[in-house]
Amino acid sequence: MKRIKLLPNIIFMLLLLIVGTLPAGSAQASGTSSLPILFGAYTSLELGSLTGGVNELVAMNSWLTGNGASGVTFAGDFMSITLNPAYNVPHELDAAWGAGFVPFVNLMPSASGEVAYYDANCVTAAQIAAGSCDAALTAWAGYFKIWAGNTKWAYLAPMPEMNGGSWIAYGSDGPTFIAAFIKIRTLFANAGVPSKAVRWVFAPNGWNESAYSWKEFENYYPGDSNVDVIAFSAYNFGGCDTNPVYANWDTFEEGFKPYLDRMRVMAPSKPIFISQIGTVNVPDTDDPDPNQTKSAWVADTFSKLANYPAVRALIYFNISKGGEFGSGPCASTADYRIYNSGSNSGDASFLTIMQDSRFGKWAFNDSKWASVAFAPANSSIFTDMQTAHPFSGEANIWYYDYVISLYNAGVTGGCVVSPLQYCPDATVTRAQMAVFLEKGKHYPVAYTPPAASDSVFSDVPGSYWAAAWIEKLAADGVTSGCGTGIYCPDSAVTRAQMAVFLLKAKYGSAYAPPAAVGTFSDVPINYWAAKWIEQLAREGITGGCGGGNYCPDAEVTRAQMAVFLVKTFGLP
């Protein structure tokens, strides 16, 4: 395991705290007979080529269904913005659609290999964002609109793997890509492409070079309002790469789960596709894993992906590709295929997993395309906190209902007014905590505290935005500050401090909880807030942060605070 990318510390802590807050049994198999994992594949030839690249998918689909397995739903494709779109858009997309497959298109910038069609103004994300490629994109959108009409649709992933390494000529920083992504969406809308004809996919590379943390895909996410499906590419190159830094037999635990976990934090309301997935059959010779075969990898990885929450589709790179590795066992060809149309045969594990009820195929006339995959997102009060899309197959994120309760009770108005946002991952300051607690404890009265006296804490002048709330909290005996005559209003609240705040606000300044008995492994009975923390757990307000721990020194997020406040004060 030489090339595993560890989670950024902040995301790891968020995941740890989220796991501790999720209700028991919330994790479930993603693929079911009613909402299966949909399969797609890329072919070695262009779908609409004269030699019929789509015929490979037709043969694969027939082989699968003829052996009692679910078939192919998506036809994967890479299409340039500028390469003869008047011909290629209708021919490529119709080749897929006419054979019964939904197009999944990686929308690529112009490349020099396009010769006469090459457009130097459409090469980079920066050019697209700046508007240099508007004419070409508008033309492409126009051809797409004509093709789609009122009855066809496709998934479009602009500039895939934009956070990748040297193999991506159009790579950029996050803000530039986001601007380019939104530009493309806007041009399609302006061209009259109906929303029912396209689903927009954010499709970065899962892995990024560790030396460039700014290339982590979270930095490129265009936001929930601009993205319908989140996705990523992940390949197992095994021993094909002769560079020992990169040669690795990447299992599900190394090559997929870390990125899936991060995507669920980044956009918990969205369905997830694996937009490019593939494996070779060449083991990494210095990896002790005894199961380094393509068949074992497919069986294990596909099954675990089918069990991961919100995963909805896999688009497999079913290609034998030359020239990808300059030396070593794959110098001439890297063979990712799990089905060979020439011999009409495929990997036994691939066939077996596709016979699993967790996988399925949706025909064009399946009502779930309209009612599930293309269902409009439910309206949300906060723009940064969407309800789970039906296609994800998941319930709303764990804190959603609590935040809405907090909002309906008048305890919060969000963190940003226009557009209205809640900032669930932001930490709670001691000033904000004062407002939350006083509003929560006085519910259902629309409470306003007396004017500030400007004489309680030296670091909280009367003009400070939360001065009146802070002084009222002190008058109620809930706090005496953070030191001699000071309150530290802008300091973050820790989970230990929060336990004391909540219980004193609920029961009054004279309240003292029972002695600690050692409920959490990271909170010894002599810890200063141990009895407060254990009482909070005893009342069912917290279950800790996971693994028998409470994480007393971790900072409280606004998402967590919503749960604590609703449970403490019984807010509806």
The pLDDT assigned to 50 comes to 64
Region 379-407 average pLDDT: 92
Separation between Cα atoms, residue 546 and residue 18, nearest integer Å: 8
Q: Collapse the DSSP code of 568 into the 3-class scheme (helix H, G, I; strand E, B; otherwise coil) and give the result.
A: helix
The pLDDT assigned to 51 comes to 66
378 inside domain: no
Q: Which domain holds residue 555?
A: 400-569
Q: Collapse the DSSP code of 238 into the 3-class scheme (helix H, G, I; strand E, B; otherwise coil) and give the result.
A: strand
Q: Among 1-10, 78-87, 205-214, whose mean pLDDT is lowest?
A: 1-10
Summarised one tens digit per residue, pLDDT across range 30-61 is 788 889 999 999 999 889 876 678 999 999 99
Q: What string of H, E and C letters represents the secondary structure of 44-86?
A: CCCCCCCCCCHHHHHHHHHHHHHCCCCCCCEEEEEEECCCCHH
345 inside domain: no
Q: At what angle do helices 558-569 and 400-408 cross, to 10 degrees?
A: 60
| Interacting residues of 359 by C-beta distance below 8 A, sequence separation 6+ | 31, 36, 37, 38, 39, 69, 70, 306, 353
Give yes or no for a contact between 187 and 142, defined as CB atoms under 8 angstroms apart: no
**pLDDT tier at 21 (50, 70, 90 boundaries)?**
very low
pLDDT at 460 over 50: yes
Summarised one tens digit per residue, pLDDT across range 133-143 is 999 999 999 99
Summarised one tens digit per residue, pLDDT across range 310-346 is 999 999 999 999 888 888 999 999 999 999 999 999 9
The pLDDT assigned to 454 comes to 85
Region 225-254 average pLDDT: 92
Separation between Cα atoms, residue 327 and residue 243, nearest integer Å: 10
* Main-chain dihedrals φ then ψ at residue 391, nearest 5 degrees: -70, -20
**pLDDT tier at 286 (50, 70, 90 boundaries)?**
confident
* Beta pairing, strands 339-340 & 311-317: unpaired
pLDDT at 1 over 80: no
Region 146-153 average pLDDT: 97
Give yes or no for a contact between 70 and 128, defined as CB atoms under 8 angstroms apart: no
Region 434-449 average pLDDT: 95
Q: Which two tokens stand for residue 365?
A: 């006339």
Separation between Cα atoms, residue 92 and residue 85, nearest integer Å: 10
Region 385-391 average pLDDT: 92
The pLDDT assigned to 467 comes to 97
395 inside domain: no
Residues 14/16/18/20 CA torsion (nearest 10 deg): -150
Separation between Cα atoms, residue 344 and residue 190, nearest integer Å: 45
196 inside domain: no
What is the count of structural domains for the chain? 1
The pLDDT assigned to 12 comes to 39
158 inside domain: no
Separation between Cα atoms, residue 282 and residue 285, nearest integer Å: 9
**pLDDT tier at 23 (50, 70, 90 boundaries)?**
very low
84 inside domain: no
Residue showing tokens 């982590």: 216
Q: What string of H, E and C letters represents the secondary structure of 430-499?
A: HHHHHHHHHHHHHCCCCCCCCCCCCCCCCCCCCCCCCHHHHHHHHHCCCCCCCECCECCCCCECEHHHHH
110, 64, 542: which is closest to 346 by C-alpha?
64
Other C-beta atoms lying within 10 Å of the C-beta of residue 315: 28
pLDDT at 14 over 70: no
The fraction of the chain above a pLDDT of 90, given in percent, is: 84
If you average pLDDT over every residue of the chain, what do you get?
Answer: 92
The pLDDT assigned to 33 comes to 85
Region 214-233 average pLDDT: 96
Region 185-193 average pLDDT: 98
Separation between Cα atoms, residue 141 and residue 332, nearest integer Å: 38
213 inside domain: no
Separation between Cα atoms, residue 180 and residue 133, nearest integer Å: 10
233 has which bridge partners?
205, 276
179, 270, 162, 276: which is closest to 216 by C-alpha?
162
Region of residue 159 (left: phi > 0; alpha: psi -120 to 50; beta: else): left
* Main-chain dihedrals φ then ψ at residue 432, nearest 5 degrees: -60, -40
105 has which bridge partners?
77, 156
Q: Among 3-17, 332-346, 380-394, whose mean pLDDT is lowest?
A: 3-17
Summarised one tens digit per residue, pLDDT across range 488-527 is 999 999 999 999 999 999 999 999 999 999 999 999 999 9
82 inside domain: no
The pLDDT assigned to 52 comes to 76
